[in-house]
Chains A and B, each alone.
Chain A
Amino acid sequence: MTDMAGPSENTTLRQRTTASSKPEYPTKLTEDVEVKEVVTSVFTPAEQKQSLTVLAGLTVLALISRFYKINEPDEVVFDEVHFGKFASYYIQGTYFFDVHPPLAKMMLAAMGYFIGYDGHFLFDNIGDSYVTNNVPYIGLRALPAFLGAMTVPIVYMTLREAGYPIVTCALAAFFITFDNMLVTQTRLILLDSMLVFFIVCSIYSYVRFHKTRNNPFSVQWWTWLLATGVSIALTTSVKMVGLLTVATIGVAVLCDLWVLLDIRRRLTMQEFMRHFWARAFALIFVPMVIYLFWFYVHFAVLTHSGPGDDFMSSEFQETLHGNTMADGLYIKYGDNITIRHKDTSVYLHSHPHNYPRRYEDARISSAGQQVTGYAHADPNNIWHITSDDPSNPKTGEQVMNKDVIRLLHVSTSSWLLAHDVASPTMSTNEEITTYSTEEDGSRLNETTFQIMLDSGGDKFRTMASAFKLIHVDTKVAVWTHPQKLPEWGFEQQEVNGNKNILQKTTLWWSDSVEGKDAEEIEQEAAKPVKKRSFFLKYVELQGKMFSHNAGLTGKHPYQSQPIEWPFLTKGISFWTQNDTRKQIYLLGNPLGMWIAAGGLAVIVGIVGADVLSRRRGYYPLNQDVQRRFYSATGFFFVGWALHYLPFFLMGRALFLHHYMPAQVFSYMILATAHGFIFVEGVDAPISEPGPEVRPRRLQRAVVPTLAYISAAILAAIHLASFLYFAPLAYGTSAIDVPGLARRRLLSQWEFHFAK
């Protein structure tokens, strides 16, 4: 660190005038020459020391805010139901299914493992007591709380590395320390603490990387590039919203590459591609490996059958110890089987009654024997499976995928048949009926069906094989839906031929083979747990996670719309205790968030004014200030936008806490906006000098007293608001009715015990 004279209050800000402004090429020195020292930091040692003190102080505050009475409440709160449970499952090795990637849950589980928790408790209901169930919940909560606290110094250092004066950095860190939502959400057994922590790590690493850009491919450059890659990988391994962080870094990298591509940078295409591949390796390949690694661990740990089995295919389930899938019997031609519908669990059924010739709506049927879906076990559910060739029934041979079969209804001895006649209730679907064996065989081709196995390998089995029955002649799938037939059909469920054979609801399975003797079952059932390649397992699980996540459209009383988040019009009730009238109500720091929303508006206004005036040939901003504004604040703004706007496109149920990552960015933006308004000039340069970069004169920011005063006022407002709402964030003390009424600034906040 060079001892350099602080450059001077007398350095006037370079005010570029319109007339003299010229495009500035890096290779040409137009002005600002004469500084020959090699500088590594524009900050003085004294200032660095001061900064460390402030950093330490803020870290302590952050730890206090997160760990304050962390033992309360000693009951299960909100989504601890899920994530606590998952931790238990990890410790016990029981397979479960969740829409989020595994890292954060494994971290919690590891924490539990190290403090000696055996995973006996399943966190079933909000309000279950930890004490009576003997769960070391404080240890479990300590991990998120610690990471939540560590977010604060990292944000401080990020802004510091981006070249902001102490007051700006401290302001951002302070806002993050005393935000009610961040506090509530990070001191419980939830994933968001890890998520936010890794996000800020990503941003920090990228800022560090960007600062080394004048020495490409140096050790430092590689270190921070890889650190960025690792951080975004960890973020994405916590929750899929980490992809938004990836997008943020991606946008920055693309901008960076775009600049490098410029012919005036004089990089050859080979050099440019080297840059490109280095980034691709560190930011795409490395993160993918890390992301997959956690899944590898996930599968390695969860080896026993559990509540997640049913989400997975039967091949997958067979890899788990103690799964019933292994009990599946191989079905051979000539077996009598029962067939059940996957969705509605009815048996494929027929009985000696016919469809009416003419329905109530005057449509005409074939008046053939009814085929219905029946919910109960019954001899009429039994079907005899045989090949499509009457001369060669293939008796005893294994039924394979894509075999063409016929099904004989045993008790009425008639063949299952589909034909182009409208079904009883849906005129677009085909009627399914049966056709007596006594009549002549001319309708053979209408009675043949192809078995299409959806899962469970190539051999048709009970239990394990889900299959579709595709009518060979007309290409419809045998299907049923919860529409009851009228009285003539005994109000059983309608079965018909669905033209859309891709529908998942056309799946059936066979649950038993009639008359197979127990010995044979025993013999077949004794199968070892199967192996399956990691990638197949991963692809399947990832697909299920996506489809399930998109399917979370159920309504929830506390869900909210993204447009509401920056204005905090709705909170979430996390936990209530009737006896003590205590509650935890997730709510951001209202005043802080509103101020931050104002900060965002200010930024947009500044950008608009700057762009418009530059278009008119007027340059209102000092060049360094402008650069800093766009490269730092602009970067954070992109982060905010990318962590917020995509939620508008999501159909699933959304909650206020989804705004947390964006909120961290918004506080950082607020601080830089404050700096933009109150601090004159910027400290520059802050990037490391490189061999090809011309030395530049150092510039110092001037922090006037007003900046400190205004920052102090903002901080005071924020802190007061925090303390005022703190009882709702911590749930450690009850508020009386008038107190709640006073705190209910917006009528949409529905506190409990308010009456």
Chain B
Amino acid sequence: MNNGTSSAVNQATGPVFRGPPARTSSKGTMGQDPLQEASHDATGTGNRTSLDEKRDKINTRYPGEDHSQFTKFKSRRSLAWYQDQELQVVGVITAVALVVRLWAIGYPTSVVFDEVHFGGFASKYIKGRFFMDVHPPLAKMLIALTGWIFGLDPSFDFKEIGLDYIEPKVPYVPMRIMCGLMGVAVVPMAFYTVRNSGHSLHAAALAALLVLFENSIVTQSRLILLDSPLIFFTAWTVLAWVNFHNQRHDPFSDDWFIWLFLTGVGLGLSFSVKWVGLFIIATIGISTLNQLWTLWGDLRITPRNWVNHFIARAFCLIAVPMAVYMLMFEIHFLVLGSSGDGDGFMSAPFQMTLGHSLQDSPLSVAYGSTVSIRHQGTQGGYLHSHGSNYVTGSKQQQVTLYPHKDTNNDWIIQKRDGTVPEDLEYIANGDYVRLMHVSTRKRLHSHDHKAPVTETEHHFEVSAYGFDGFAGDANDEWRVEIVDHDGSDAASGEMLHTLRSKFKLVHANMNCDLFSHKVKLPKWAFEQQEVTCMRSAVVAKTTWVIESNQYDSYPEDVQMVNYKKPGFLSKFVELNKVMWTTNAGLTDSHPYDSRPSSWPWMRRGISFWGKDQKHIYLVGNWFTWYLSSAAVVLYAAIRCLLFLRDKRGYHDNAGGLREYYELSGGFFFMAWVFHYVPFFLMGRQLFLHHYLPALYFAILLFSVTFDLGCRFIPKRFRLVLAVLVVLTAIFVFRTRAPLTYGSEWTRPECEASKVLTSWDYDCNQFPQSYDQYASYAATAGDKREEQEQGYERDQEAEEGEEYDQLLEQAVPAAEMQQAQIGEDTALAQEEQSGGAYASDDSQITDASVTTDGQEPSSDSDIDDEELVEEA
């Protein structure tokens, strides 16, 4: 099936991939499809000289036009700053940006939206208490640093939306300004990104101004949130990459290296803010591959030289970002040195580095020793029992998993017949044992009753059973099966060794394994984790280790073991894994979440805050937004059309413009795709503000489109057109600014501002006219206040709802725990309530610690015991 002409055609284009040497070097391809280049070449256009000729032709056709911007980027350093028109423009725009972005940044004077989380993390950093969050630490540390410098009192915990900042003297203004300044910096960077891509001053200024007057970006950068740093570092990376690309004719020069290195640093920093920084890594990565591909096809470049290119890029774009990312975690670990509410997410060795201590225990385990047994598959803690009974099933004493050290975690290992041999007898793989709960003198027991919560056929209840004088029965017998062991200690595969042998406990009668998973028991069992005996369970969830081991009969010189404190790398890897699984588990719905398909047309915004008849609602500047979306669609359509036309032998070159459009436009388009499309694959809850980096690139793409689209009209019209676009954008921005700044507004203006009916900010909360704000303040009487309070809470709850719920549930739960079982120490209370929420985007993250008994979706646990596939 290979004769005929098809492959001959491919062959025809084959050789030109190499390109004549003179051509390839002059044409950088950035974000450009190699095929495209090939077709260019195949049609005999597009080498440097002919391009210049075309350019000259255009110049003669439109005399008086300045097409110098058309030439490749030149260093403009030679001019003094005050002579440089460009700098003047940038200076003015930046000054405007400072005013617009920082205007009344002190309002609202209370906690807004996700400041709950990121402000809260700042307090924790200052306290040095370990916490868990799904985002990498950089931006949070910057916020914390600002707070620390300006004297943030860490006892302020940003607990709920609407909490007052003024009274506790929280330095929230500097913290917001820090984020705000990063937002301001994006504006000149947008300018230079477009300018240095070889576009006109108009286009660059247009891009900067559109970014400047974009309501959603402004809203997002005025508050203590992560998105402003993220966009800042993303924009920075792209600017550095554009500058690097401009050095391509001078490889391995100082400038070349500096910009390459700075790109790498930018990548690392973006990725250290949020994992969506991965998208910019992908963008730069593809662009790099494209460059390397071009270089590889350039036969003047020797393989050795190519390898140099490769290594330089690999170092700067892989090693540097990784180093930056890890450095951030190193700082994170250094700052968070003590135990905090994030402990419960981490493994026991990790917790050892947070000030938890564990005494050394004897290595070998003998019958008669008192042990605590830790579950390996979850961070649920120790096999535990206490003097309360199940209210379901057998109504015998509860056996649970409990995360904290406690005497109720102690079990004595007995022989199969319930005795303890006089001499020391060590436990081997395959031995049958009984486990006697020390404080209640009952034995670990399982039988044919349904498990308390997981009522499927493969789970059986595990209880503690027995009474004085009762010798026990066969349902107390468990077989120790070592499934894994520490490689450094070969004997721990055969003999049960503390910490080093990972074992299953198999119930002798029912052939099921002692099992636990992230399912909480109801309140009657203090919401501790469920323990069952399960058949056909995954091994990970049935694995246990002995963590402590005491027996008076051990000889003095017995060999002792303890956890090895993990080094930085293993801590780093563990924390990132936990972040990943937690992040994937964020699948609950939120009143204001949205799917990516609705973003480019901005179907709906996010309500951030509302109080005193004022409202902050995240919604974009529809004019800018729709122009940018249109530019994206237009770009895709034009490229497809050109692609097809090339194949049919039409050579559209548009006087050399095409190359520019494909080069810079192509790069921004690719960046947009990478910052947008991957969200479709994410199952977790998403919000409109996840689109903002993509929006940034769409705006850049629009300015490029504008520049090239206006290339053939006289300069003054171009200017007029640009001014018109900017003025419209400013007008649209201005008319919706009250939602951005949380300032006074009236109901009619609000109603008029809704372009789409699906924008669900409630206009009824604004008064009919501005003077009612004054009277509102005056007439606020007692009763009114009470009502208002209810209303506020309602509003706040929109954001912090789950948080509130959780808090309500968690605190009583912990109290009850302490009241009812005294042994469970007071430490538990704090940890229980605090550890309950780690957060992202105003959402409780880890279902495993919420109290509603949901199982996190990422859990690889077996739940559905049907042995038949559901067809």
Q: Taking the nearest CB of chain B, how far is it from the CB of A440, in angstroms? A: 22
Within 8 A of B (CB), among A600-643: 612, 614-617, 623-624, 626-628, 630-632
B863 — which chain A residues lie within 8 A by C-beta? 554-555
- A743, CB-defined interface residue at 8 Å: no
Quick one: CB contact mask for A718-738 with B, threshold 8 Å, 1 for yes?
000000000000000000000
The winner among B647, B681, B786 for most chain A CB atoms within 10 A is B647
Query: Whose C-beta in chain A lies nearest to the C-beta of B299?
Result: A617
Give CA–CA (A258, B299) in the complex, Å: 29
- B871, CB-defined interface residue at 8 Å: yes
A687 touches B8 (CB 8 A): no
Give CA–CA (A733, B562) in the complex, Å: 49
- B396, CB-defined interface residue at 8 Å: no
Q: Taking the nearest CB of chain B, how far is it from the CB of A106, in angstroms? A: 15
A24 — which chain B residues lie within 8 A by C-beta? 8, 11-12
- B861, CB-defined interface residue at 8 Å: yes
B2 — which chain A residues lie within 8 A by C-beta? 163, 624, 627-628, 631-632, 682, 684-687
A696 — which chain B residues lie within 8 A by C-beta? 3
Known: A422-B794, A555-B863. A614 touches B17 (CB 8 A): yes
A687 touches B3 (CB 8 A): yes
Quick one: CB contact mask for A263-307 with B, threshold 8 Å, 1 for yes?
111000100000000000000000000000000000000000000
A626 — which chain B residues lie within 8 A by C-beta? 7
B12 touches A25 (CB 8 A): yes
Known: A427-B797, A614-B17. A99 touches B871 (CB 8 A): yes
Query: Whose C-beta in chain B lies nearest to the C-beta of A686?
Result: B1
Give CA–CA (A572, B536) in the complex, Å: 12
Within 8 A of A (CB), among B775-805: 786, 790, 793-794, 797-798, 801, 804
B591 — which chain A residues lie within 8 A by C-beta? 428, 499-500
A555 touches B867 (CB 8 A): no
A82 — which chain B residues lie within 8 A by C-beta? 868-869, 871
B7 touches A556 (CB 8 A): no
B862 touches A207 (CB 8 A): no
Within 8 A of B (CB), among A686-710: 686-687, 689-690, 693, 696
A557 touches B649 (CB 8 A): no
Q: Taking the nearest CB of chain B, how far is it from the CB of A144, in angstroms? A: 15
Quick one: CB contact mask for B847-871 with A, threshold 8 Å, 1 for yes?
0000000000000011111111111
Within 8 A of B (CB), among A234-262: 256, 258-259, 261-262
Range, interface on chain B: 35 or more
A632 touches B1 (CB 8 A): yes
B864 — which chain A residues lie within 8 A by C-beta? 554-556
B15 touches A22 (CB 8 A): yes
Query: Whose C-beta in chain A lies nearest to the C-beta of B864?
Result: A554
- B332, CB-defined interface residue at 8 Å: no
Q: Interface SS of chain A: helix, strand, loop or mixed? A: loop
A556 touches B648 (CB 8 A): no
Give CA–CA (A614, B293) in the complex, Å: 12
Quick one: CB contact mask for A492-506 with B, threshold 8 Å, 1 for yes?
000000011000000
Q: Point out the residue from A256, A573, A685 that lies within 8 Å of B3, measured CB to CB.
A: A685
The winner among A26, A421, A649, A651 for most chain B CB atoms within 10 A is A26
- A402, CB-defined interface residue at 8 Å: no
B869 touches A79 (CB 8 A): yes
Q: Give the number of A-B contacts (CB < 8 Å).
A: 164
B871 touches A98 (CB 8 A): yes
- A201, CB-defined interface residue at 8 Å: no
- B296, CB-defined interface residue at 8 Å: yes
The winner among A100, A615, A631 for most chain B CB atoms within 10 A is A615
Q: Point out the residue from A81, A261, A573, A655 that lies within 8 Å of B647, measured CB to CB.
A: A261
A682 — which chain B residues lie within 8 A by C-beta? 2
- B9, CB-defined interface residue at 8 Å: yes
B536 touches A264 (CB 8 A): no
Within 8 A of B (CB), among A657-714: 682, 684-687, 689-690, 693, 696
Query: Whose C-beta in chain B lies nearest to the C-beta of A256?
Result: B6
- A13, CB-defined interface residue at 8 Å: no
Quick one: CB contact mask for A66-107 with B, threshold 8 Å, 1 for yes?
000000000000110111000000000000001110000000
- B573, CB-defined interface residue at 8 Å: no
Q: Point out the residue from B3, B4, B797 that lies within 8 Å of A428, measured CB to CB.
A: B797
Within 8 A of A (CB), among B7-40: 7-18
B12 — which chain A residues lie within 8 A by C-beta? 23-25, 264
- B65, CB-defined interface residue at 8 Å: no
B869 touches A78 (CB 8 A): yes
A687 touches B869 (CB 8 A): no
Q: Point out the residue from B297, B647, B681, B801 that lies within 8 Å of A649, measured CB to CB.
A: B681
Known: A364-B786, A555-B864, A616-B296. A655 touches B13 (CB 8 A): no
Q: Point out the residue from B297, B681, B804 that lies within 8 Å of A616, measured CB to CB.
A: B297
B18 — which chain A residues lie within 8 A by C-beta? 615-617
- A210, CB-defined interface residue at 8 Å: yes
Quick one: CB contact mask for B381-422 with A, threshold 8 Å, 1 for yes?
000000000000000000000000000000000000000000
A554 — which chain B residues lie within 8 A by C-beta? 863-864, 866, 870
Query: Whose C-beta in chain B lies nearest to the C-beta of A630?
Result: B7
Give CA–CA (A213, B5) in the complex, Å: 10
B681 — which chain A residues lie within 8 A by C-beta? 649
Quick one: CB contact mask for A421-441 with B, threshold 8 Å, 1 for yes?
110001110000000000000
A532 — which chain B residues lie within 8 A by C-beta? none
- A327, CB-defined interface residue at 8 Å: no
Known: A261-B648, A263-B648, A556-B869. A427 touches B3 (CB 8 A): no
A264 — which chain B residues lie within 8 A by C-beta? 9, 12, 649
Known: A428-B801, A555-B861. A261 touches B1 (CB 8 A): no
Q: Taking the nearest CB of chain A, how far is it from the CB of B800, in angstroms? A: 10
Give CA–CA (A100, B869) in the complex, Å: 13
- B683, CB-defined interface residue at 8 Å: yes
A422 touches B870 (CB 8 A): no
Known: A82-B871, A428-B797, A556-B866. A259 touches B13 (CB 8 A): no
- B724, CB-defined interface residue at 8 Å: no
A21 touches B868 (CB 8 A): no
Q: Taking the nearest CB of chain B, how far is it from the CB of A403, in angstroms? A: 24
- A579, CB-defined interface residue at 8 Å: no
Give CA–CA (A364, B293) in the complex, Å: 67
Give CA–CA (A99, B13) in the complex, Å: 47
- B644, CB-defined interface residue at 8 Å: yes
Known: A428-B798, A693-B4. A126 touches B867 (CB 8 A): yes
- A517, CB-defined interface residue at 8 Å: no
Q: Taking the nearest CB of chain A, how far is it from the CB of B110, in angstroms? A: 18
A693 touches B3 (CB 8 A): yes
Give CA–CA (A617, B297) in the complex, Å: 8
A687 touches B1 (CB 8 A): yes
A118 — which chain B residues lie within 8 A by C-beta? none
A499 — which chain B residues lie within 8 A by C-beta? 591
B84 — which chain A residues lie within 8 A by C-beta? none
- B652, CB-defined interface residue at 8 Å: no
- A363, CB-defined interface residue at 8 Å: yes
Give CA–CA (A214, B861) in the complex, Å: 56
Within 8 A of B (CB), among A210-247: 210-211, 213-214
Give CA–CA (A24, B793) in the complex, Å: 76
Known: A78-B868, A126-B867. A26 touches B862 (CB 8 A): no
Give CA–CA (A689, B4) in the complex, Å: 8
List 24 A-B pairs, Cβ < 8 Å. A23-B11, A25-B12, A26-B8, A259-B5, A259-B9, A265-B9, A361-B804, A421-B790, A427-B797, A428-B801, A554-B870, A557-B867, A572-B869, A612-B296, A615-B18, A615-B297, A617-B18, A628-B1, A630-B7, A682-B2, A686-B2, A687-B2, A687-B3, A750-B536
A78-B869, A263-B648, A557-B865 known; 19 other A-B pairs, CB under 8 Å? A23-B12, A23-B16, A79-B868, A79-B871, A265-B5, A265-B9, A269-B648, A363-B793, A364-B790, A554-B863, A555-B862, A615-B296, A616-B296, A616-B299, A628-B1, A649-B681, A653-B869, A687-B4, A693-B5
The 4 closest A-B pairs by CB, nearest first: A26-B5, A263-B649, A23-B12, A685-B3
